[in-house]
Structure 1
Amino acid sequence: MLTQFKKNIETHFSFLKGKKLLIACSGGLDSVVLTHLMKNLNYEIALAHCNFSLRGKESDGDEMFVIGLANTLEIPVFAETFDTKKFAKEHKNSTQMAARDLRYNWFAEILKDFKYDYLLTAHHLDDDLETFFINLSRGAGLNGFTGIPKENNKIIRPLLNFSREEILKYAEQNNLKWREDSSNEKTDYLRNKLRLEVLPKFKETSKSLLKKFQKTQQNLQASQNLLEDYMALVYKLVVSEGMDSYKINIKKIKELPHTEALLYELLNGFGFSEWEDVSNLLEAQTGKQVFSKTHRLLKNRDELVLTEIYFEKDDKEILIFEEGITAPITLKMEPSKYIGETEKNLIYVASEKLNFPLKLRKWRDGDTFQPFGMKGKKKLSKFFKDEKISLNEKEKIWLLLSGEKIVWVIGHRMDERFKVTENTRKIFKITYLKE
């Protein structure tokens, strides 16, 4: 296996030569074999071990084993203990997901702080097959069946071409020692159930099943590449990008075949799960929304607008004195001898009508003002609707107030009551400097 592994490294991961490599080592069979293989090929390596405190003395034993392995091989080792259950509870997550977040966040810190170039993990071909079936059970799209990536930014998986049987054979032939994780024998988790009960029966159907599985994944990857090329063309045709949003042109996407499939491919990376609700937005009324944990998809007339979610509406008030303010937005306030042309980001106001300190806050339900050039008052909600300002844009709008009167809907319209007239003695120029 060493010869095959060396060839695999030289063919697919030649860039690792001369780099500082960190190996995620649990102490189990796979990571121990990966460690010995990389050491035998004379790469500069170090080990990183996570003690998740989930199996008591067994977890501590794993940690001591990895430290001992590093000492025997005379390589650096990093070990960290985590209170995984506490972290999971605080972040309202499963123990498995909490351990994953803790693990990869800590690995990233080591890479940065100690200047390691890449992280190597010991995922192998059987892991890939298990992941395929897990994604199958979850109703994944094509991308979910193309396999665990061999390379993902700083994460490298050089054992993906090798089966667990090959790895075990290498370990036994070289008299390697490793730790067995007792939790791997429990069928509480889907992956363990697949590994222990389902896949052994499946493998009995063909001795070359894993090799055929690899070929299937190669074919699926080719199809995925073709799809990505097509979606790049679709993206240019139907999507426009704003400063903080993506807008999908409904008319254009409906003119294309397989509209719902296109929507899935465009939005799949944003955490949406209720795809029927997403597709229903195409025919919904303006204002209808669908949410994922991180994003909102809003029907706004002839567009679907995708934005990140703003979880809290900032309701605080900020006092502004005559020198202006630089946070959370930048306003420049200065006396002016004359009045120029009013713009969206620039207004001139009658200074004697202002009562300092002014206030800065977000808009609230029930807010009214007298738009510049109009005689009567108007609710801000009605103004936003008339101006076709989307829900996401409304949440970012700041108001400048004098007392309880709105001076300026910043970036949109000033209030008629504060305009400069022939009787104005002192003029104030206020500029909104966008970040």
Structure 2
Amino acid sequence: MLPTELFREFIAKNSLFGHNDKILAAVSGGKDSVLMTHLLKTAGYNFGIAHCNFQLRGDEALADKAFVNNLASELNVPVHNIDFDTKKHAADEKVSIQMAARELRYQWFQQISRQHGYDVIALAHHQNDSIETILLNLTRGTGIAGLHGILPKNENQVRPLLFLSREEIDEIVQNNQLAYREDSSNSSTKYARNKIRLEVIPKLKELNPALEETFERNIEHFRGLEILLDQKLAELRKELITGDGDSIRIPVGKVKKLVPQRLLLYGLLDEFGFNESTVADIISCLDKHSGRTFESAGFILLLDRDDLVVSKKQIEPPAITINLGDHEAHYGNYRLSILHDDSPLIIKDNPMAVSIDTDLLIYPLTIRSWQQSDYFYPLGMKTRKKLSDFFIGLKIPLHQKKQVPLLVNGNGDIVWIGGFRPDNRYKVSTKTKKVTIFELYKL
């Protein structure tokens, strides 16, 4: 007899789906997915079957496909099939065969769901799969999130067999004489997960025959700890983080008081792509190395004197040329208007515009970003100043420095730091006959 009531109870307890939902069941033909299919049928749910042929096992895979299609026909449910060129995808994307198969099937499941109006995708993972996942994560290194095992629900993916162990599934399939297909690759220990399943877990069960029940309790504890940590991090984000999604600040003084420091700072920076190793490096530099930067895939963290400043990486705009007679130019997120005037007009109280003595300009001019060796003579000063020091004085973060447009004369002199300060050598004076007015507009 099938455990249909337990199946329904687990689905209801974890809010996996309702009787009005349409379910796409991922079915390989193995014991687990076959049992899930029969349970969905006996419980009266509205579902269809999705089967993938990864074209890795020749005739065996074709026999799996035929079996699944026959099963769908017997149960009178729709079936969706696809054949993948898994080896080509792995080579093109430079990933392992296992990773390629995973990417292909999950992308296709989502595509089929959208096309045919399925509400959830049912996957036949069970308790032992969750144990294997935890052990794999521990072997490779993990945080608390890696200890909660496989979740019953993750967005539109549900796992309604997580209330059963592998041994229980074997017994139910045998007692109900359910036909299934055996995947020969499951017996190979060349895959890390198989090695854990076939060699590690049997040894652990010698120490604890009730391993599944113990892990089930542990997983509950880990999930509870994860919830507590998430709540604490939510409080810290409100308390410590200022700014928006493009640039945020976290006070260094408060970071130093975090306990446990590494765990909590990693939690705060994880969404920006910083790994635990980088977080450890950041902590080691908190009392020194102000101005040091750390990078993730999409963000830069600047260790300022008072704050950790996290900003989105910006693409440095390419330099552009301005020729004599040009009236407009575009640079990055700016539009530059160029006006030639016969009167020696001086622009005041508008940092986005500047008047320059026309006779001092050497064309073509250039607009480019800051370079490490840049210097200029700030308006009102007779001595030169490095732009890096000028930016530090204005507390301009590193990620913004590269976005500041610099107007450069044909002789290499910086004429104007757009939006901030002109060069004293090019100011309008009593000797000026004509001016050129440059005005920036943020797009």
When structure 1 is superposed on structure 2, of 351-360 and 383-392 the one drifting more is 351-360
Give the alignment partner of residue 388 of structure 2, picking from 367, 381, 388: 381
How large is the RMSD of aligned CA atoms in angstroms? 3.5
**Superimposed CA distance per residue, residues 263-309 of structure 1 (whole angstroms, 9 cap, x where no aligned partner):** 23323452514254242122340233444455444322232333455
Q: Percent identity?
A: 38
* Residues 135-194 of structure 1: CA deviation (Å, up to 9, x unaligned): 222332223212222222222222222212232333334433333222221212321111
Structure 1 SS opposite 2:214: helix
Inter-partner Cα distance in structure 2 for 1:251 and 1:77: 59
Which amino acid letter does the alignment assign opposite residue 303 of structure 2? K
Larger Rg: 2
- Which TM-score applies when normalising by structure 1? 0.83
> Structure 2 CA distance, aligned partners of 1:420 and 1:161?
80
Structure 1 pair 256–366 and aligned structure 2 pair: CA distance change class (3 A):
closer
Aligned twin of 1:433: 442
Residues 1:370 and 1:183: Cα distance change in structure 2 (over 3 Å) = farther
**Distance between the aligned counterparts of 2:366 and 2:107, measured in 1?**
41
8 Å contact kept, 2:376–2:385:
yes
More moved, 208-217 vs 92-101: 92-101
Partner of 2:54: 52
**Aligned 8 A contact 1:237 1:252 in 2:** no
What residue is the counterpart of 2:213 in the other structure? 211
Give the distance between the partners of 1:117 and 1:357, measured in 2 at CA: 61
Q: 1:261 to 1:6 in 2, by over 3 A?
A: closer
C-alpha distance 138-317 of structure 1, shift in aligned 2 (>3 A): same
Q: C-alpha separation between the residues in 1 aligned to 2:384 and 2:288?
A: 31
Describe the shift of the 1:135–1:108 C-alpha distance in structure 2 as closer, same or farther (beyond 3 A). Answer: same
**Aligned mate of 2:153, from 145, 151, 156:** 151
* Aligned counterparts, 1:287-298, within 5 A: 287-298=291-302
Q: Which moved more, 1:258-267 or 1:63-72?
A: 63-72
Select which of 265, 276, 282 maps to 1:263.
265
Q: What amino acid is the match of 1:183?
A: S
How many corresponding residue pairs?
431
Give, in whole Å, the separation in 1 of the partners of 2:322 and 2:77. Answer: 58
Q: Which residue of structure 2 lines up, in the alignment, with residue 272 of structure 1?
A: 275
Matched, 1:363 2:365: no
Q: Choose which of 347, 352, 359 in structure 1 pairs with 2:353.
A: 347
Distance in 2 (CA, whole Å) between partners of 1:365 and 1:52 is: 52
In structure 2, what is the equivalent of residue 322 of structure 1? 327
For residues 25 and 267 of structure 1, what CA distance do their matches in structure 2 show? 38
Aligned to 1:129: 131
Alpha-carbon distance change, 393 to 47 in structure 1, aligned in 2, over 3 angstroms:
farther
Give the Å deviation of 1:16. Answer: 3.4
Match of residue 282 from structure 1: 286
1:124 is displaced (CA, Å) by 1.2
1:140 aligns with 2:147: no
**Aligned counterparts of 1:167 and 1:372: Cα–Cα separation in 2:** 80
Moved more, 134-143 or 361-370: 361-370
Q: Would the aligned equivalents of 1:28 and 1:180 in 2 still touch at CA under 8 Å? A: yes
Unaligned residue ranges in structure 1 (runs of 5+): none
- C-alpha separation in 1, matches of 2:75 and 2:349: 73
User: 1:394 matched to which residue of 2?
Assistant: 401
Distance 1:395 1:170, change over 3 A: farther
Shift in Å at residue 27 of structure 1? 2.8
Q: Could you report, residue by residue, the CA deviation over 1:48-104 in whole angstroms, capped at 9, with x for unpaired residues?
A: 333333334434444444444434444333333334344334444333333333333
1:240 equivalent in structure 2: 242
Kindly indicate whether the alpha-carbon contact (under 8 Å) linking 2:266 and 2:274 is maintained by their aligned counterparts in 1.
no
SS of the counterpart of 1:282? coil
Cα distance change, pair 427–232 in 1 and its aligned pair in 2 (3 A)? same
Alignment CA distance shift 1:329-1:199 (3 Å): same
Mapped to 2, the partners of 1:104 and 1:88 lie a distance apart of 15
Quick one: which of 198, 202, 223 aligns to 1:200? 202
Classify 1:125/1:331 alpha carbon distance in 2 versus 1 (closer, same or farther; 3 Å): same
Mapped to 1, the partners of 2:71 and 2:423 lie a distance apart of 73
Shift of 1:225: 2.0
Q: Give the one of 232, 252, 255 matched to 1:253.
A: 255
Partner of 1:33: 35
Residue 246 of structure 1 aligns to a residue whose secondary structure is strand
- Indicate how the Cα distance of structure 1 residues 185 and 362 shifts in structure 2: closer, same or farther if over 3 A, else same: farther
Question: C-alpha distance in 2, partners of 1:319/1:99?
Answer: 52
Q: Offset of 1:251 from its aligned partner?
A: 1.1
Shift of 1:196: 0.5
Kindly indicate whether residue 162 of structure 2 is the aligned counterpart of residue 160 of structure 1. yes
What amino acid maps onto 2:8 in structure 1?
A: K
Structure 2 counterpart SS, 1:16:
coil
Letter in 2 for 1:97: M
Other structure's SS at 2:81 match:
strand
Instruction: Indicate conservation of the 8 Å contact 2:353/2:419, yes or no.
Output: no
Listed one character per residue, the Cα deviations across residues 105-157 of structure 1 (whole Å, up to 9, x for unaligned) are 33333333444322222221111111121222233222321222222222222
Aligned to 1:81: 83
Structure 2 unpaired stretches of 5+: none
- C-alpha separation between the residues in 2 aligned to 1:261 and 1:390? 26
Q: CA deviation at 1:313?
A: 5.0
Cα distance in 2, alignment partners of residues 397 and 54 from structure 1: 54
